[in-house]
Structure 1
Amino acid sequence: MTAAYAPLGHEGGAPLSRTRTRSLVLLAVAGFILAFSFLTGAVTSPPAVTAGTKPFLDALGLRGPHCGIEPSILRSYGRHAIRLSRVHEGSGWRVKRVLAKLEQGERIKVAVVGGSVSTGHGDLNGRPYTYRAVNETYDKVLMSWINSTYGEQSFISGAMPATGASFFSFCWTATTRLEELAPDLVLVELNVNDPPGDEARRASGWLTRSILQLPNKPAIIFVGVFSLKPNFDDGVGLVHGGDYRMPIADYYDIPQISLRAPYLPPLLRNKTLVKPYFGVDPIHIAQPLHKAMGDFLIAYLQEQRCTMLEEQRSGEADMFPSEGLLLDALIPGEVPSHTLDQEIMKAYPPNPTAPPVCHLANQTLTPLTPAPDWTVLSYQFEKTSLQTAGPGRTISFEIEVREGSAGEIGVGYFRSNKELYKLGRLKCRVAEQEKVLDGYWTSKASIFDVGIIATNVKPGTYRIDCATLVGELPERNEFRIAAVMSR
């Protein structure tokens, strides 16, 4: 008789494994030895039990419930699927620093930089693309474990629908409220909203560098989901923007955890899994996959915690080389001097170290002078912009360029090929530099994009002057500004 197929997430009975049987035998033997020692008066005082250690189980070579992936997660997914979710693990150095703070009783701040998946968009009772259809998103699953294990921690969702790495490479500081408290752990989920290609890789590099260079040296985890159809142009197959984050993960030592390898092949074999995985929404994952993503993140952190505790017990004797070419060469958590687009043997000006500046509509984005032709448009309190219609509508802003910046000034604006938005063009100028931004494009995606207006500007405060133009078609006469920004 062949075993029945059990999809991921199924919890079924299983025979007692050899490892578990051996463990029970060892425990029985140890119990007999302890009892005999007690009767003969040979018992000595046990070593002090510190946080995260169980000397009795360690002496037997067994992992106690304090260390390792929790059994319920192993039953639900199995080690094979958990391993498949690890696109890139890296050294875990930054993540272990965060876990060490938690183990010592310190509070941390966790932040999410993500798109509509992170805000819970999806299928609600047969209606696709519904705002906040999923209540228990992956980040809530993760935070539930962190809070129950270490006490209540600070959390902020800096997710914003219809945004990708290009937008967040400027505006993550605003959505996560960096000025209030720097994050210790940042979850970056942008696969669906990033177009496949070098643009996503470069933007992800900017985003990653600006987060890692904060004084508190936060950790980043790339969170990977997948969709049933391309959010951008057809013809790319199963590739998405997250695939272009792989070299970023490798180069900057960022763990990358993804749903695609464990869940997409079973779905391709069995299309009935579309309903539990996505419902009727082909872009946004449903509740079961949010739960899986959260559990995969928990499993990763639990294993990193084990590694950290073992390194603490061993005194990190073998953490770094004592001989060879890497002797005294590795600096944990170092941000490389070059980006992936710069050649090794060429000299370049220092890359930016200052966090970007971003003013979001309906938050800190205020016109420099009254602009009565522009109004605040907020859809579901998530997609907010300044909107106008008609040519010749002017608006001006001020933006700061910080010391240690790249000297770029940009405007975030809404783009779509849907005729219902009637999106047209806007010309913006900074000093002697100007650029025309077109809200209409041929891509299928409707997202907030970034147009770079000026480059190589020195630190200081600059004025941005913008005016709408006559559209290519008369009916395309509207424009939406989401933010002004610099880095």
Structure 2
Amino acid sequence: MYIPVSPSRRPHALLALLSGIVLILYLHNTHQPRPSFIPNPFWGSPSTSTSGKGGIVGLEEDDYRVRDRIERMRGYCEIDGELEKEYGRTNLRLSRAYEGSHHRFTRFLHKALRGEPLVISVIGGSITKGHHVEKDEIWFHRFWQWLDDYVGEDVQVTEVNGAAPATGSDYFSFCFPLHIPANSDLVLVELAVNDEGILQHVENMENLLRGLLEMPNRPAVMLVEAMAFSSGGMGGGGGRMHLPVAQYYDVPVINQRHPLANHFARYPQLVRPYFTVDGWGNPDTRHFNGRGHRDLGMLIASFVKDVACEMLSEQDFAVPPPDTTDDVSPLLSTIAQTTSDQNQTPEDAQLQDERLAEQQISWPEHSRSWRDNPREDQHVGELMPGMWSTPLEYGLMPRMRILNGWNPDPNFIVPPFHPTCLSTRAKEPQFNLTPSANVGWEHWVHPEHLDKPYMVARTPGATISFEMETNVGVVKMYSLKSKTFGLGTIECWVDGEKDRSVKIVGWWDKGDINIGRFDSIRDNLPPGQHTVTCEVLEETSDPDGGHEFRLISMMR
């Protein structure tokens, strides 16, 4: 029923109406239901969610961006995967030569879920540099495109391609800081094609991995093997040396060769549509084309996606706070300590065991600490670590090198590997290879390959010297090796000790492989400043009498 309101009462009615609206809004804001997830106001323990899939830690209740990123990633997990449709789950599994613990990759994904900017880098040879393909076809760029879309537009992902043609793990083990930024969060390494299957590359890859894993952001690292048929056997080249090193250091390995090599051997007609062509129109079986690049990038994408889906499916999943370190020393030292101290009472030991049991409740049974039976002279038995690795240890650096013999002393720890490289390929002035004396050498760039600069000499008697300071007593040279370029031999010595000189030969009998390799000049120098001098010799191993020598880097 309509009740007319007189003009004199309209202001009072309007005031009452506005008051009612304000009251309704107040009650709505103060008594609205809690959201479906309850963010924990403190970083540390997972919150709950009505979905039972875990929660979000350390967020203000009005901050839903992390939740939105989680749900975005979960959405990718719940739909039928395009990559599985393209390649098949079995082929994707075949490409995973080693998966590892996933620990550093989950840390990488945590950063993405928190919305932190990410830096992904790659080092590799001519394949990763993009030989015979466009820049936007390179496998690393393809993977970056996928990742940039996967984490969402509000997460900045920067790509850095640090590849250098004709280089291997020996070069990058010393010179990787010249090519990728120190703040990298993910580093992909594609060097299996450029490395030969020789024992030296076990040490080279180990030095490289130790250097990468100890970078400031403790990045996730992955080895990537592209398919090629130009070097090594059907089982590949340097990848055979890299795999055990990667397994020892808990570094995943994606190998494109595994699902494809035998298949191509059965159907050789597939080579031409998968690889680029050389100057004579023949398939270049060292460098695949854009299709091969995309495939390699998507094999990596599939692995990252599966790591994310497994992580998100965990019942107690929670996004940890930023700047969380892997400082596990307090708990690990407590677990590893012996309790033979006669002053520790059984009551103290019981309290200690109870605290540890609470901390380890989610650990696998065989990773939990346990109490040994006491000896006759003990009140309590020794506290023993679990027989299997604990979740706290994943991603930590091994204390011994892979080829070291067993050393039971836990205080024996291999020191960090922090190499220095002076190179013709340096992008920053402090890393430039600048001689202190020079007679007959010049800086030269191949006219058809502008990304291959060298210090070059072509006549016997040409000398060059470098002032180098070393803390580890090692000086190495990286130079080009080739059968067809007419390369000669040089002699190098340190601090005038020519009687202790070494010869470095540029020519080798390895077919059409033209690539850099390093040689040791001295490995027992006292720390400090030293002068390294090299001279082109009259003698040469080149059948045509060539003397040219192409120097790339000096390492210390």
* TM beyond 0.5: yes
Runs of 5+ in structure 2 lacking a partner? 1-32, 40-47, 55-70, 277-282, 319-359, 370-385, 427-431
1:358 pairs, out of 413, 416, 421, with 421
Which whole-Å CA distance do the structure 2 matches of 1:54 and 1:256 have between them? 35
Counterpart in 1 of 2:159? 155
AA at the equivalent of 1:250: Q
Q: Shift in Å at residue 154 of structure 1? A: 2.2
1:269 pairs, out of 257, 266, 269, with 266
Q: How many residues align?
A: 420
1:426 pairs, out of 483, 490, 504, with 490
**Can you list the C-alpha shifts for 1:55-103, whole angstroms capped at 9, x where unaligned?**
65969xx995243686221211121111111100000111111111111
Which whole-Å CA distance do the structure 2 matches of 1:153 and 1:67 have between them? 21
Which whole-Å CA distance do the structure 2 matches of 1:85 and 1:267 have between them? 15
Which whole-Å CA distance do the structure 1 matches of 2:49 and 2:300 have between them? 24
Counterpart in 1 of 2:532? 464
Matching of residue 377 in structure 1 with residue 440 in structure 2: no
**Can you list the C-alpha shifts for 1:171-221, whole angstroms capped at 9, x where unaligned?**
111122x4xx33221101011111012122221111111111223212110
Which whole-Å CA distance do the structure 1 matches of 2:138 and 2:425 have between them? 26
The answer to whether the 8 A contact 1:416-1:441 is kept is yes
Counterpart in 2 of 1:455? 523
The answer to whether the 8 A contact 1:87-1:256 is kept is yes
Higher radius of gyration, 1 or 2: 2
User: SS of the residue aligned with 1:117?
Assistant: helix
Q: 1:349 to 1:465 in 2, by over 3 A?
A: farther
AA at the equivalent of 1:48: F
Runs of 5+ in structure 1 lacking a partner? 1-43, 122-129
Higher relative contact order at CA 8 Å, sep ≥6: structure 1 or structure 2? 1
The answer to whether the 8 A contact 2:477-2:521 is kept is yes
Q: 1:457 to 1:48 in 2, by over 3 A?
A: same
Which whole-Å CA distance do the structure 2 matches of 1:155 and 1:183 have between them? 9
AA at the equivalent of 1:409: V
The answer to whether the 8 A contact 2:53-2:316 is kept is no
Q: 1:427 to 1:190 in 2, by over 3 A?
A: same
TM-score by length of 2: 0.69
Q: Shift in Å at residue 325 of structure 1? A: 1.7
The answer to whether the 8 A contact 1:221-1:255 is kept is yes
Q: Shift in Å at residue 284 of structure 1? A: 1.1
Counterpart in 1 of 2:37? 48
The answer to whether the 8 A contact 2:53-2:317 is kept is no
2:503 pairs, out of 404, 414, 436, with 436
Which whole-Å CA distance do the structure 2 matches of 1:114 and 1:336 have between them? 25
Counterpart in 2 of 1:318? 362
Q: 1:81 to 1:237 in 2, by over 3 A?
A: closer
Counterpart in 2 of 1:482? 552
**Can you list the C-alpha shifts for 1:213-265, whole angstroms capped at 9, x where unaligned?**
223212110111121232x6xxx443321122111121000100111121222
Matching of residue 79 in structure 1 with residue 92 in structure 2: no
TM-score by length of 1: 0.79
Counterpart in 1 of 2:357? none
The answer to whether the 8 A contact 2:189-2:221 is kept is yes
1:342 pairs, out of 399, 404, 408, with 404
**Can you list the C-alpha shifts for 1:261-305, whole angstroms capped at 9, x where unaligned?**
212222122222112221421111221121111111111111111
Q: 1:70 to 1:434 in 2, by over 3 A?
A: farther
Matching of residue 368 in structure 1 with residue 412 in structure 2: no
**Can you list the C-alpha shifts for 1:366-419, whole angstroms capped at 9, x where unaligned?**
1113545323234522111111111110111123324xx4x321111011011x
Alignment RMSD (CA, Å) = 3.0
AA at the equivalent of 2:483: N
